[in-house]
């Protein structure tokens, strides 16, 4: 199994507060992704990274920002959380050994975020 | 604009029978397709994939079929087992896109 951890695993916060979710990998994969999973919508890409300091938007990026200052860590920040951001967030990695192979992604265990 | 669609939210199959999960896509630039399986409270795990240059790929009890002209793929599980009960997502990527597009998922329940 690819070594991916997400922290925290569960978080309850209030509307308007900032929240940062962390994804950490030990596999030296080039690509890292943040998804959210919601009923009826499947997995939707928020942001992704194709290298250190290289990131791009996904289909639901509004209200989220990301940073990747080193290969191992990819942070997702909600600058001012809203109730619509209550969801389960998954991090994924691909590109073993820093290759360009991005198709087969390995997922972390997820973070359940509740915004009250 | 849902580029990858799984029109059946749920499917119930008897143990030992065949399970067929379907997926449709609209983007003709997609050239690689994957199926993921997800158990509750866990992240999705890769199951099987197929390139657009093929129309079938088999791995044990799992077979994926691709019909490019219809922009349709399906996952066959034979025989179905109770441990196959999970949510299944299909996903697609276009050459050079560096990302996947997922369908909404189908919840498969295998009944004993």
A84 three-class SS: helix
Q: What does the pLDDT read at residue B96?
A: 78
- Span B53-71, average pLDDT: 97
Q: Do A48 and B103 touch (CB under 8 A)?
A: no
Q: Tens-digit pLDDT profile for chain A (116 aa)?
A: 558 999 999 999 999 999 999 999 998 898 999 999 998 889 999 999 999 999 999 999 999 999 999 999 999 999 999 999 999 999 999 876 555 566 789 999 999 999 99
Closest CA–CA distance from residue B103 to any residue of chain A (Å): 6
Facing A107 at nearest CB: one of B43, B99, B105: B43
Please report, rounded to a whole number, the percentage of residues in chain B having pLDDT higher than 70: 99
Q: What does the pLDDT read at residue A82?
A: 97
Task: Please state, in angstroms and rounded to a whole number, the distance separating the CA atoms of residues B77 and B106.
Answer: 14
Task: Please state, in angstroms and rounded to a whole number, the distance separating the CA atoms of residues B76 and B87.
Answer: 14
- The overall average pLDDT reported for chain B is 95
Q: What does the pLDDT read at residue A102?
A: 64
pLDDT at B55 over 90: yes
Task: Please state, in angstroms and rounded to a whole number, the distance separating the CA atoms of residues B22 and B7.
Answer: 8
Residue pair B92/B4 in contact by the 8 Å Cβ criterion: yes
Q: Do B43 and A110 touch (CB under 8 A)?
A: yes
Stretch 16-45 of chain B: residues touching chain A, C-beta under 8 Å = 32, 34, 36, 41-45
Closest CA to B95 of B27, B3, B1: B27
Closest CA to B59 of B51, B44, B48, B67: B48
- Give the tens place of pLDDT for each residue, B75-92: 999 999 999 999 999 999
Closest CA–CA distance from residue B102 to any residue of chain A (Å): 6
Q: Do B46 and A104 touch (CB under 8 A)?
A: yes
Q: Do A102 and B49 touch (CB under 8 A)?
A: no
Place of tokens 């066959």: B76
């Amino acid at each position: 199994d690819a070594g991916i951890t997400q922290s925290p695993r569960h978080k309850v916060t209030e509307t308007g507060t900032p929240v940062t979710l962390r994804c950490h990998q030990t596999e030296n994969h080039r690509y890292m992704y943040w998804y959210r999973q919601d009923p009826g919508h499947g997995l939707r890409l928020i942001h992704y990274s194709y290298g250190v300091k290289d990131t791009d938007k996904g289909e639901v990026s509004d209200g989220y920002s990301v940073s990747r200052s080193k290969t191992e860590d990819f942070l997702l920040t909600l600058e001012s959380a809203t109730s619509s951001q209550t969801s389960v967030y998954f991090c994924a990695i691909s590109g073993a050994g820093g290759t360009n192979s991005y198709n087969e992604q390995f997922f972390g265990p997820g973070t359940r975020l509740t915004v009250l | 604009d849902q580029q990858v669609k799984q029109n059946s939210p749920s499917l119930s199959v008897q143990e030992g029978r065949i399970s067929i999960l379907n997926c449709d896509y609209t983007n003709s630039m997609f050239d690689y397709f994957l199926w993921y399986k997800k158990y509750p409270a866990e992240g999705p795990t890769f199951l099987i994939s197929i390139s657009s240059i093929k129309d079938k790929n088999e791995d044990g009890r799992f077979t994926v079929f691709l019909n490019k002209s219809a922009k349709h793929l399906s996952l066959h599980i034979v025989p179905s087992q109770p441990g196959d009960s999970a949510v299944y997502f299909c996903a697609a990527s276009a050459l050079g896109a560096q990302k996947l597009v997922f369908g909404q998922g189908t919840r498969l329940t295998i009944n004993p």
